[in-house]
């Protein structure tokens, strides 16, 4: 799937073997890093958002809904002792979504049951808001 390498100065690189795409991470400034790239905990939050949208996209395709233009705002709340992600807030917005109430409910259910959401620990609060 991927290979990872520590680059020094609290920077890592993960390379996707099939595509060759790479992701760089830096420790955040508040944790001795440069903050020049996503931190590993930022990637967890971004992965949750991306997974939710992907599964919603599958439902949208099945239902004949055009989901293009769906956006998320992602907020990460860190706990200090121990240092970990305490909460991930994701707000979905789509100003021109054409879908019935039943279809919207299917999209919301898909988001909340994506593989990443189900894989995160039960003590990590997931606050998800839908504006459509």
Do 5 and 56 belong together in one domain?
no
What CATH number does residue 114 fall under?
A: 3.30.300.20
**Predicted TM-score of the model (pTM):** 0.94
Do 94 and 122 belong together in one domain?
yes
The whole-number pLDDT of residue 43 equals 97
Q: What is the pLDDT of residues 78-97, one digit of tens each?
A: 999 999 999 999 999 999 99
Bridge partners of 98?
Answer: none
Do 12 and 51 belong together in one domain?
no
Q: What is the DSSP string of 7-72?
A: EETTEEEEEETTT--EEEEE--GGGTS--SS--HHHHHHHHHHHHHHHHHHHHHHHHT---TT-EE
> SS3 of 108, please?
helix
The whole-number pLDDT of residue 5 equals 98
Pairing of strands 125-131, 83-93: parallel
The whole-number pLDDT of residue 131 equals 97
Do 56 and 16 belong together in one domain?
no
Number of domains in the chain: 2
Task: Tell me the pLDDT of the chain averaged across its residues.
Answer: 97
Give the domain extent around 26: 1-37
* 37 φ, ψ (degrees, to nearest 5): -150, 175
Do 103 and 83 belong together in one domain?
yes
């Amino acid at each position: 799937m991927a290979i990872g390498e520590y680059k020094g100065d609290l920077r890592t690189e993960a390379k996707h073997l099939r595509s060759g795409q790479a992701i760089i991470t830096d420790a955040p400034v508040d944790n001795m890093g440069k903050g020049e790239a996503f931190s590993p905990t930022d990637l967890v939050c971004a992965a949750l958002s991306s997974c939710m949208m992907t599964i919603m996209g599958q439902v949208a395709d099945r239902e004949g809904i055009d989901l293009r233009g769906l956006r998320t705002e992602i907020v990460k709340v860190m706990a200090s002792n121990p240092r970990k992600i305490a909460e991930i807030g994701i707000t979905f917005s789509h100003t021109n979504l054409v879908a019935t109430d039943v279809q919207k409910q299917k999209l919301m259910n898909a988001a909340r049951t994506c593989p990443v959401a189900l894989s995160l620990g039960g003590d990590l609060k997931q606050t998800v808001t839908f504006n459509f």
